[in-house]
């Protein structure tokens, strides 16, 4: 098949420069489709361009009012011309996507403004080319703001999650797990594959690592940990921001990894997170909010972890990894899933 993958931002159209080398479903999906033997084109679409030549179309949707949604005119045009398009999301801040459409719907003039209040360019690409489709784009915004999305919605999430907590409504919501294709952190772009063997137990530190690009300090202050906590990611809080393969090496050095909750994972949404696969490969224990951990079947009290001997911690890791291994999708299941979806 000839398949088009496009979307609202640079990550979705495959042109994003990712200095942090972060694994996302928008990066992984084209890889899966190519491995299935399909001809995949991932790019920005110019309004007016012929999109009828593609057998299947995937459009990654994001809040259109976001500064990063530079290519959304072309993506909206694609959805209009391909009502059979499969809509997907890649960012955990799902409520911002819906509210972004709502902002534009409550004032259609915002869709077309070229300058911000400060007088800076908004930076939306293909404004001129979108003008012939102005009414259709405005109607699309209204639909995505306040109605059920008339499409199949593909979400990166674990099996068994309460997907309604994402705040998205569509004709059909289906989940997939990118875990089996998540391995970019195992390679240093400059040096190649890391040594795959875990560090000896005696070299692991009884400490936690919490890594997040957004601030989780408010949540962290409410917790009671005895082990020291190393934090990475948030520059405003003067934390070191690591590339994903560098963070993986830090994970390998400690016994504990903290998965700080998102607002919907605390309600059991089941949202997919690369951190679980990294913990699995690093042979470290991962701790999450009970409602998030319950989806994966690895809920354990942090006091038990912090009081454990090296032998007991190893036992916890062995049990956790066996559970995660059975929870993660395999490559074979992933391929079969997309074969069925593309039929």
Domains and CATH numbers, the chain: 2-177+331-341 (3.40.50), 186-327 (3.40.50)
Helix residue spans in the chain (DSSP H): 10-13, 25-35, 72-81, 94-105, 109-112, 127-130, 134-146, 217-220, 244-251, 274-282, 290-296, 302-306, 310-327, 331-341
What is the C-alpha to C-alpha distance for residues 101 and 308, in angstroms, rounded to an integer?
Answer: 49
Residue 50 has pLDDT above 70, yes or no: yes
Q: Are 5 and 30 in contact (CB under 8 A)?
A: yes
Any bridge partners for residue 229, and if so which? 208
Q: Are 83 and 54 in contact (CB under 8 A)?
A: no
The pLDDT tens digits for 52-101 are: 999 999 999 999 999 999 999 999 999 999 999 999 999 999 999 999 99
The encoded tokens of residue 46 equal: 């110019």
DSSP classification of residue 199: P
The pLDDT tens digits for 121-161 are: 889 999 999 999 999 999 999 999 999 999 999 999 999 99
The pLDDT tens digits for 218-252 are: 888 888 899 999 999 888 888 888 989 899 999 99
DSSP classification of residue 288: E
């Amino acid at each position: 098949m000839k398949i088009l993958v496009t979307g609202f931002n640079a990550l979705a159209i495959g042109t994003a420069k990712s200095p942090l080398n972060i694994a996302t479903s928008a990066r992984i999906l084209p890889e899966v489709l190519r491995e299935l033997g399909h001809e995949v084109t991932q790019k920005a679409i110019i309004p007016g361009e012929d999109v009828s030549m593609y057998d299947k179309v995937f459009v990654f949707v994001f809040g259109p009012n976001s500064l990063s949604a530079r290519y959304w005119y072309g993506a909206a045009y694609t959805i209009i011309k391909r009502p059979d398009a499969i809509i997907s999301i890649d960012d955990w801040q799902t409520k911002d996507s819906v509210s972004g459409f709502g902002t534009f719907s409550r004032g259609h003039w915002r869709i077309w403004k070229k300058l911000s209040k400060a007088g800076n360019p908004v930076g939306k690409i293909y404004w001129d080319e979108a003008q012939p489709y102005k009414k259709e784009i405005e109607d699309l915004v209204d639909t995505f703001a306040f109605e059920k999305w008339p499409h199949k919605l593909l979400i990166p999430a674990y099996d068994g999650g309460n997907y309604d907590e994402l705040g998205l409504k569509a004709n059909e919501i289906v989940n997939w797990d990118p875990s089996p294709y998540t391995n970019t952190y195992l390679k240093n772009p400059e040096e190649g594959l890391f040594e795959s063997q875990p560090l000896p137990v005696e070299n692991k530190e009884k400490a936690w690592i919490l890594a997040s690009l957004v601030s989780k300090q408010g949540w962290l202050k409410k917790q009671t940990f005895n082990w020291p906590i190393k934090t990475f990611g948030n520059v405003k809080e003067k934390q070191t921001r690591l590339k994903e393969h560098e963070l993986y090496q830090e994970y390998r050095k400690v016994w504990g990894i903290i998965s700080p909750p998102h607002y919907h994972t605390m309600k059991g949404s089941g949202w997919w997170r690369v951190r679980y696969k990294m913990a699995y490969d690093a042979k470290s224990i991962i701790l999450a909010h009970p409602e998030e951990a319950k989806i994966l079947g690895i809920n354990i009290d942090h006091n038990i972890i912090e009081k454990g001997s090296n032998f007991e911690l190893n036992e916890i890791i062995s049990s956790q990894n066996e559970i995660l291994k059975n929870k993660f999708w395999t490559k074979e299941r992933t391929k079969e899933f997309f074969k069925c979806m593309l039929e």
